[in-house]
């Protein structure tokens, strides 16, 4: 089957950028943001196959689409987020809404509906969340009761409600998860059906160009051919099959929006002269407010790129990796946007500058597609199983692999992250021995530390293998400085915060833990971080 090649991917990204330059001014975004207005015409134009056809990325080639790979879609998601996260969310909602059809639809269902979505530029919405069923879809209450005729199933009657549905008030087609007699199932629901109503557009903190609304179903009749896969009870597996993939897209949103804020801050700092020199030349300003975020973004980029390539081979699974990417990149994006306001001072606090809007927008990436606390728990659960299965060697083996990377190239910080991974294995073992994971907070924190460790590992390892993530603007030497600074800080964080956690919740001896985690060696390797951050700051000044 024909796939988009990397050159074409870059041409599509360029087309999207040029489209935005021509049609999406900052004034347009500000006006729609202020009026809480969904730019329907603009999105229909972006969906037009003769203009851009951005929605075709998720549609198989045989139905008029482009069958974009995970690598294609994350890059487009990053680019969309740099334009506007509300618009990006509108497009993503169509991707997400089409996913159950992709995963669970029969060939006939795919042929019928994908061709309609492609040609008629349909807005699609993904209707899963309910008042009591957010990240916990098992608590689903919307019912789909069978409608019988002469002993056969003629269709279903939907009753219930959904909330926080992106594109909820504007979609032409909805994929709705409801509880059938044989279990949760996905249904295709067209707008305008009797008994199907949409609530008002939510007045949100950010992503105000994205329509968000609740849905109500009162005896809405759905013909049986609109049950995806034509078999009841497959809904939860179908939903979970694509979490790795969909969360990677939200990770790309965090990265794109965060980078936009960060680059705005660097450009401002180059122009703003205080005390006789531009802010960009002031070490404290850069090291506190700007530079560390770019380190995290490049680490996130390396990780997203790495996982996307794995998902290109098989578009399912990797739920833990998807959670790591989503958690890490969205926290990085959100933190950078917060500091970008600070970096612009009073200007950053006004609506005249984009960072104020980006900060409001990017916060949602820490919430939707599973809150970041759910991500921490998912990461912890996934890796805790591995820790138990391997009798505590899961992370220490990773550490051994990184020592091999360090032998090949001593400039990547792989020795630091190797120590960090080994310390993580020790800390997890302490948690197991003392049953500390009965404390929910311990599981959250472990999820955070695991995410940091695995991202830092991938960043070092891929650079060591000569792999530079797609879309990076930095040269190899700067990326190495970033990987080094990141590895050192992550190792220190794992050891220090992990020890704090274990000591606070359990009965360990501090001296004993210090020795076991090799904390002094980790501290010794902190040397050089300031120099590396200086190098990175100079590069930021040079290229933006």
Partner 1 sequence: MNIVVCIKQVPDSDKVKVNPETGTIIRAGVPSILNPYDHFALENALKIKKDTGGKLTVISMGPPQAVEVIKLALSLGADRGILLSDRAFAGSDTWATSYAISKGIEKIGNYDLILCGQMAIDGDTAQTGPGIAHHLKIPQITFCENVSIANGKAEVSKLVDGGTLDMQAELPALITMTMPSDYLGIYPSFLDVFDAQDKPVETWSAQDVGAEAKNLGLEGSPTRVDKIYAPERKVQGEIFSGSANELADKVLEFLKQGRFIK
Does residue 5 belong to the site contacting partner 1 (CB under 8 A)? yes
Does residue 22 belong to the site contacting partner 1 (CB under 8 A)? yes
- How many residues are given for the chain? 544
d(CA 241, CA 245): 9
How are beta strands 183-190 and 173-180 bridged, if at all? antiparallel
Which of 4, 77, 302, 414 forms a contact with partner 1 (CB under 8 A)?
Answer: 4
Stretch that binds partner 1, among 14-22, 136-144, 417-425, 427-435 (CB under 8 A): 14-22
Q: Which is nearer to partner 1, 348 or 471 (CB)?
A: 471
Does residue 115 belong to the site contacting partner 1 (CB under 8 A)? no
Which of 29, 66, 318, 323 forms a contact with partner 1 (CB under 8 A)?
Answer: 66
Does residue 273 belong to the site contacting partner 1 (CB under 8 A)? no
**Residue 538: exposure state from Cβ atoms within 10 A (0-12, 13-18, ≥19):** middle
Q: How far apart are the first and last CA of the chain?
A: 39
Which of 42, 43, 54, 248 forms a contact with partner 1 (CB under 8 A)?
Answer: 54
Stretch that binds partner 1, among 48-56, 166-174, 224-232, 303-311 (CB under 8 A): 48-56
Does residue 15 belong to the site contacting partner 1 (CB under 8 A)? yes
Is 411 strand, coil or helix? coil
Q: Which is nearer to partner 1, 48 or 218 (CB)?
A: 48
d(CA 400, CA 414): 10
Residues classed as catalytic: 369
Which of 1, 7, 138, 313 forms a contact with partner 1 (CB under 8 A)?
Answer: 7
Q: Which is nearer to partner 1, 50 or 391 (CB)?
A: 50
Per-residue DSSP letter, 76: H
Q: Which is nearer to partner 1, 15 or 518 (CB)?
A: 15
Per-residue DSSP letter, 134: S
- What is the total count of residues that contact partner 1 (CB under 8 A)? 31
| HEC string for 322-363 | HHHHHHHHHHHHHHHHHHHHHHCHHHHCCCCCHHHHHHHHHH
d(CA 146, CA 57): 35
Using CB under 8 A as the binding rule, the residues of this chain from 469 to 488 that contact partner 1 are 473-475, 478
Q: What is the CA radius of gyration of the chain?
A: 24
Does residue 274 belong to the site contacting partner 1 (CB under 8 A)? no
Using CB under 8 A as the binding rule, the residues of this chain from 421 to 480 that contact partner 1 are 473-475, 478
Q: Which is nearer to partner 1, 22 or 391 (CB)?
A: 22
Helices (H) and strands (E) in the chain, counts: 21, 9
Stretch that binds partner 1, among 16-24, 174-182, 303-311, 433-441 (CB under 8 A): 16-24
Does residue 51 belong to the site contacting partner 1 (CB under 8 A)? yes
CB count within 10 Å of CB 212 equals 27
Per-residue DSSP letter, 280: G
- Residue 540 CB, shortest distance to partner 1, in Å, is 10
Q: Which is nearer to partner 1, 51 or 153 (CB)?
A: 51
Does residue 57 belong to the site contacting partner 1 (CB under 8 A)? yes
Residues 59, 65: contact at Cβ < 8 Å? yes
Is 369 strand, coil or helix? coil
Closest CA to 332 of 280, 368, 292: 292
How are beta strands 152-166 and 183-190 bridged, if at all? unpaired
Stretch that binds partner 1, among 6-14, 159-167, 194-202, 247-255 (CB under 8 A): 6-14
Binding interface with partner 1 (CB under 8 A): 2, 4-5, 7-8, 10-12, 14-15, 18-19, 21-22, 48-54, 56-57, 66, 473-475, 478, 539, 542-543
């Amino acid at each position: 089957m024909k796939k988009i090649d990397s050159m074409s991917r870059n041409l599509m990204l360029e087309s999207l950028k040029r489209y935005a330059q021509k049609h999406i001014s900052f004034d347009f975004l500000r006006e729609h943001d202020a009026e809480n207005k969904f730019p329907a015409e603009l999105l229909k134009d972006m969906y037009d196959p003769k203009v851009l056809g951005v929605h075709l990325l998720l549609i198989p080639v045989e139905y008029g689409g482009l069958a974009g790979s995970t690598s294609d879609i994350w890059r487009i998601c990053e680019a969309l987020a740099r334009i506007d996260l509300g618009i990006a969310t509108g497009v993503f909602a169509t991707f997400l809404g089409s996913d159950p059809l992709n995963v669970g639809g029969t060939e006939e269902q795919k042929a019928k509906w994908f061709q309609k979505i492609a040609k008629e530029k349909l807005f699609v919405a993904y209707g899963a969340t309910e008042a009591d069923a957010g990240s916990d879809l098992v608590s689903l209450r919307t019912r789909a009761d069978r409608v019988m005729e002469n002993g056969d199933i003629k269709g279903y009657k939907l009753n219930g409600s959904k909330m926080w549905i992106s594109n909820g008030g504007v979609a032409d087609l909805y994929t709705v998860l409801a509880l059938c007699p044989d279990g949760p199932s996905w249904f295709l629901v067209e707008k305008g059906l009797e008994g199907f109503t949409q609530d008002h557009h939510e007045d949100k903190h950010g992503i105000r160009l994205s329509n968000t609304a609740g849905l109500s179903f009162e005896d809405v009749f759905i013909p049986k051919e609109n049950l995806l896969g034509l078999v009841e009870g497959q809904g939860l597996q179908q939903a979970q099959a694509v979490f790795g993939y969909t969360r990677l897209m939200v990770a790309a949103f965090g990265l794109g929006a965060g980078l936009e804020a960060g680059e705005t801050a660097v450009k401002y700092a180059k122009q703003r002269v205080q005390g006789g020199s531009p802010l960009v030349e002031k070490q404290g300003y850069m090291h506190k407010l700007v530079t560390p975020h770019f380190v995290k973004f490049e680490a996130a980029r390396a990780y997203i790129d790495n996982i996307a390539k794995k998902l290109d081979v098989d578009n399912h699974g990797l739920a833990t990796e998807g959670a790591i990417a989503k958690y890490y990149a969205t926290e990085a994006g959100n933190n950078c946007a917060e500091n970008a306001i600070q970096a612009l001072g009073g200007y950053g606090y006004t609506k005249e500058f984009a960072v104020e809007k980006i900060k409001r927008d990017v916060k949602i990436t820490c919430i939707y597609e599973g809150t970041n606390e759910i991500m921490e728990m998912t990461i912890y659960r996934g890796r805790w199983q591995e820790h138990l299965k391997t009798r505590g060697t899961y992370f220490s083996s990773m550490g051994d692999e990184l020592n091999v990377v360090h032998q090949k190239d001593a400039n990547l910080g792989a020795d630091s992250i190797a120590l960090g991974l080994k310390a993580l294995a020790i800390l997890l073992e302490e948690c197991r021995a003392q049953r500390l994971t009965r404390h929910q907070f311990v599981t959250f924190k472990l999820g955070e530390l695991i995410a940091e460790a695995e991202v830092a590992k991938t960043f070092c390892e891929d650079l060591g293998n000569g792999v530079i993530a797609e879309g990076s603007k930095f040269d190899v030497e700067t990326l190495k400085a970033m990987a080094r600074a990141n590895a050192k800080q992550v190792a220190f964080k794992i050891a220090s915060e992990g020890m704090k956690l274990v000591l606070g919740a359990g009965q360990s001896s501090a001296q004993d833990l210090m020795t076991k985690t090799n904390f002094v060696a980790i501290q010794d390797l902190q040397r050089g971080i300031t120099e590396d951050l200086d190098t990175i700051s100079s590069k930021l000044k040079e290229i933006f």
